[in-house]
Chains A and B, each alone.
Chain A
Amino acid sequence: MARLHAEEMVLNMGPQHPSTHGVLRLKLRTDGEIVSHIEPVIGYLHRCFEKHGENIEYPMVTPFTDRCDYLASMNNAHGYAMAVEKLMDIELPERVEYLRIIFAEFQRIASHLVAVGAFGLDVGAITPFLYCFRERESILDLFEMASGARLLYNYVWIGGLAHDIPPGFVEKAYEFLDYFDERIREYDRILTGNKIFIERSADVGVMPAEVAINYGVTGPCLRASGVNHDLRRAQPYSIYDRFEFDTVVGKGEMGTVGDCWDRYNVRVLEMAQSARIIRQALEQLPTEGDVKSAVPKKIRPPKGEIYSRSENPRGELGYYIISDGSSVPFRLKMRSPAFCNLSVINEIGAGWMISDVIAILGSLDIVLGEIDR
């Protein structure tokens, strides 16, 4: 039989598409259902974060960091505050450190909940998404108690926190943790062990460890590839060295190490570890201390530069700051984890089907606000 004339079709996925997690455009070269090449086109959400940073004073940058990764505002502000504090050699009160850890870990749980739920949504399971959002709401309630806001908090300030936690916060936090341990088992029942879910995610989009490291993939995606690397352990910042927790590493239980199922499961297990850290932090939380005592009156870091990094829910968040001694950053660069995580999509996604590309994209858990900055 004579071969039919066939050619590849370019399929535009996005910028308006239900599963691109924001305004991302993927140019897919497809041969039927098989995708042979993926070219991400980004920049639709570019808001000139770095340019803004060079024109406003140090404390005014904090709200901008919140808006970069809007699912992990606490972690972003925490990373930024740490960078400036290191530059200025500010010693923080104990209470501030503990509260920051508590909020950072709560934020990690909230972010992972969105990631897990949205991944379920990407492979077609709608209900788990709602369950995850139910739990996230309770975390946002806690944030609202402390900062007054539910998404963009401006809570972690350079040298301290915006306010101390209100009375009753610790009890509510414990209440949530007790309730949350039960809920993780619920996700396992409805999603993790589901046969169709495993079929869709196991062995799909396998990311070998070398590829992950070479592309600068960090966070849960890197750990799912079997690399035991967590900045909270490898280079403990803040007071992470005081807590007991396990770094979760992908083991390839359902398929190959580094597949979509591993990336999903690492996040589920990490939520439990974060809950563990919060429990310890709440127990050790000093009752005395003014959260604003170390906030400098005038923030003028000495001349110099710093690259400071922290573990964001999506991976390694780095801030590169050059200070010229004035009250405005001379250069402010944000190394965003999702930016690097997304760049690997062609490497691990080419050769799979359209449905798998969606699943792989979902398992990378990108936030476009942070990629485009």
Chain B
Amino acid sequence: MTEAEIYSLLSTEFGDKVVSFQGEEKTPFAVIQHQAIHEIMSFLKRDERLKFDSLMSLSGFDLGGAEQPLGIIYHLYSMSLNHYFAVKVLFEDRENPKLKTINDLFRTADWHEREAYDMYGITFEGHPDFHRILLEDDWEGYPLRKDYVQAEFYRGMKIAKEK
């Protein structure tokens, strides 16, 4: 199935929960409401016509600025049917972005969600072992956010500033 077909299938199934579709991008994606992420992912995985068995990638991103939101994009791939889809969620709330984990559907999400938390501070509810993955647990701030300000010291050690 092409991405556009998958999108129309999704929008008939979920209606308002699927917000928009960007078909002209190099890798087309659908934007969905973040409350609905688990049910939509579950549908994408379980539906006979879609059979997305593999989550290729889960990346957080920050569009920057106060009104520009944080987001997560899920890249899905079906090994059996050999087609792609990408699903994007956006958070208007920069302070406390929360999302339901899809760890139970795709175990790939386990570490990737921790990485998204590590870098962007997006919390995943229901994740069994949720803490930072690449950085130390007591690191301050979320480094890949556009408004990240580097701390001067970490545990008394000076952090080198970029010149």
Q: Which residues of A come within 8 Å of B, CB atoms?
A: 42-43, 46, 48, 50-51, 54-55, 86-87, 213-216, 227, 229, 234-235, 304-309, 316, 318, 320, 322, 331, 333, 335, 339-340, 343-344, 347, 372-373
Contacts and interface: CB of A to CB of B under 8 A. Distances in A.
Given A214-B108, A307-B75, 18 more contacts: A43-B132, A46-B134, A48-B143, A213-B54, A216-B56, A305-B27, A305-B29, A307-B57, A318-B57, A320-B57, A320-B73, A320-B75, A331-B59, A333-B59, A335-B75, A343-B110, A347-B107, A372-B134
A46 to B, nearest CB: 5
Contacts of A306: 25-27
B120 to A, nearest CB: 10
B135 A46 contact: yes
A318 B76 CA distance: 12
B106 A235 contact: no
Interface of B: 25-27, 29, 53-57, 59, 61-62, 73, 75, 79, 82, 86, 106-108, 110-111, 119, 132-136, 143-144, 162
B108 A307 contact: no
Contacts of A227: 79
A193 B75 CA distance: 40
A301 to B, nearest CB: 10
Given A307-B86, A318-B75, A343-B110, A213 B119 contact: no
Contacts of A333: 57, 59, 61
B86 A343 contact: no
Given A42-B134, A343-B111, A216 B26 contact: no
B26 A320 contact: no
A213 B79 contact: yes
Contacts, number: 87
A216 B55 contact: yes
27 contacts: A42-B133, A46-B135, A51-B143, A51-B144, A55-B162, A213-B53, A214-B53, A214-B108, A215-B107, A216-B54, A216-B106, A216-B108, A234-B79, A234-B82, A305-B27, A305-B29, A306-B27, A307-B27, A307-B56, A307-B73, A318-B56, A318-B57, A333-B61, A335-B56, A343-B110, A372-B134, A373-B134
Contacts of B57: 307, 318, 320, 333, 335
B16 to A, nearest CB: 24
Contact of B134 (A43, A216, A308, A340): A43
Contacts of B144: 50-51, 54
B26 A309 contact: no
B66 to A, nearest CB: 17
A313 to B, nearest CB: 18
B74 to A, nearest CB: 10
Nearest to B162: A55
A216 B26 CA distance: 23
B114 to A, nearest CB: 10
B53 A43 contact: no
A304 B56 contact: no
Contact of A343 (B26, B61, B107): B107
Contacts of A215: 107-108
A216 B110 CA distance: 10
A308 B107 CA distance: 21
- Top-8 shortest CB links A-B: A216-B108, A335-B57, A333-B59, A306-B26, A43-B134, A307-B27, A215-B107, A331-B61
Nearest to A55: B162
B82 A235 contact: yes
B4 to A, nearest CB: 17
Contacts of A347: 107
Nearest to B54: A213
B56 A316 contact: yes
B69 to A, nearest CB: 13
- Which residue, of A42, A234, A339, has the highest number of chain B Cβ atoms within 10 A? A339
A266 to B, nearest CB: 17
B119 A50 contact: yes
A238 B106 CA distance: 29
A305 B73 CA distance: 11
B26 A305 contact: yes
Nearest to B56: A318
A320 B25 CA distance: 13
